[in-house]
């Protein structure tokens, strides 16, 4: 494949993730919608660590994370 290196890296990461055992977390979004999030083993470990540190469950961490506001895009400097 003749692709830029960043796209090749992206595709390698997709293939690597698809070969790993995925972890699923059911949780309820802030609007009451049931969600299912699929995690790589590394992401599942990180989420488990956060949940343990916070003394709560993985699905509760995701529910609370849904309330974190999105970052606003940086203002573009005006061209003069």
The pLDDT tens digits for 34-70 are 999 999 888 999 999 999 999 999 999 999 999 998 8
DSSP string, 12-44: HHHHHHHHSPPEEEEEE-TTS-EEEEEE-HHHH
Residue 1 pLDDT more than 90? no
Percent of the chain scored above 70 by pLDDT? 91
Residue 78 — pLDDT band, cuts 50, 70, 90?
A: low
Q: Are 40 and 25 in contact (CB under 8 A)?
A: no
Residue 10: its pLDDT value, please?
94
Residue 56: its pLDDT value, please?
96
**pTM for the whole structure:** 0.68
């Amino acid at each position: 494949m003749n692709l830029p290196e960043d796209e090749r890296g992206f595709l390698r990461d997709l293939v690597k993730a698809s070969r790993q055992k995925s972890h699923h977390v059911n949780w309820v979004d802030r609007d009451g919608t049931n969600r299912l999030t699929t995690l790589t083993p590394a992401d599942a470990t990180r989420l488990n660590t956060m949940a343990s540190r916070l003394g709560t469950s993985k699905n509760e961490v995701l529910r609370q994370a849904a309330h974190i506001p999105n970052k606003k895009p940086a203002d573009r400097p005006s061209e003069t």
